[in-house]
């Protein structure tokens, strides 16, 4: 990984912490002695950091360069450091990791779940240019309270595979609505989704649950809030 890549991964990690509420530009300015405009310009990709400034920020946030490295993978592309089966394994991660981490680190992986490689490579993608940099597939477990609105498509404790390279509102199959993992604040919500006049309309499967509306504000786009299409559901029986 070169210096520019290290800066980009630091920028993404800082934005992730800001999104989760554990960091702000003003707090980072106080920690480092840097001006808020300097930090803001870096976070928005308008300027680069010197090596000394990068070291100062990493020290203030207790970050080591190793923590910004992607998980090591073997020649087949599988994550190393886990018991591996055949190619096509997908990391099971927390909701926060699925929402905010483009690169899946080995320390973020709970277990590796094997899937037939052919089933994964056959899936079509449709994503924005920035999302293409993210590692594509992650699996998350859906607790009972979150699954209730989507029963019987999803049941409590279902494992869901998200294709993070599909953040388009276009239906994957004509006439069949997509289910998405959607970022609502710092929460992952699974719903059908449509985009209407700068709003994302989130619809449950069960009509007894309310429709939710997410306003798209700031520099983010509606597609940024679509974490990925639900490509596969494994319901426990």
How far apart are the C-alpha atoms of 64 and 81, rounded to whole Å? 19
- Write out pLDDT tens, residues 217-229: 887 889 999 999 9
**Overall average pLDDT of the 110-138 stretch:** 85
Inform me whether the pLDDT recorded for 185 exceeds 60: yes
What confidence tens digit (pLDDT) does each residue in 173-183 have?
A: 988 999 999 99
Mean pLDDT score across all residues of the chain: 85
| Domain boundaries, position 27 | 3-68
Domain for residue 74, yes or no?
A: no
Say whether both 98 and 129 belong to one domain.
yes
DSSP one-letter string for 142-180: E-HHHHGGGTTTS-TTEEEEEETTB--SS-SBTTBPPEE
175 within a domain of the structure (yes/no): yes
Identify whether residues 50 and 105 lie together within a single domain: no
Q: Looking at the structure, tell me whether residues 150 and 207 fall in a common domain.
A: yes
On whether both 96 and 64 belong to a single domain, the answer is no
pTM over 0.85: no
Say yes or no to pLDDT of 114 above 80. yes
Region 84-96: mean pLDDT is: 74
């Amino acid at each position: 990984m070169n210096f520019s890549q290290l800066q980009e991964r630091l920028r993404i990690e800082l934005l992730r912490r800001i999104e989760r509420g554990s960091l702000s530009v003003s707090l980072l300015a106080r920690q480092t002695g840097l001006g808020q405009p300097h930090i803001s310009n870096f976070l928005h990709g308008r300027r680069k950091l010197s090596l000394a400034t990068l070291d100062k920020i990493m020290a203030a946030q207790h970050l080591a360069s190793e923590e910004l490295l992607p998980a090591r993978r073997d020649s087949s592309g599988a994550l190393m450091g886990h018991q591996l089966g055949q190619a096509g394994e997908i990391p099971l991660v927390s909701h926060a990791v699925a929402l905010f981490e483009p690169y899946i680190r080995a320390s973020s992986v709970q277990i590796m779940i094997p899937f037939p490689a052919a089933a994964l490579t056959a899936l079509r993608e449709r994503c924005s240019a920035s999302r293409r940099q993210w590692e594509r597939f992650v699996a998350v477990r859906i607790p009972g309270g979150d699954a209730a609105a989507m029963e019987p498509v999803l049941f409590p404790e279902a494992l869901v595979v998200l294709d993070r390279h599909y953040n388009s509102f276009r239906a994957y199959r004509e006439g069949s609505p997509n289910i998405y993992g959607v970022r609502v604040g710092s929460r992952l919500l699974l719903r059908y989704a449509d985009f209407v006049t700068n709003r994302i309309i989130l619809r449950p499967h069960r009509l007894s649950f309310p429709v939710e509306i997410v306003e798209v504000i700031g520099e983010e786009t509606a597609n940024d809030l679509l974490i990925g299409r639900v490509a596969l559901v494994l319901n426990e029986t």
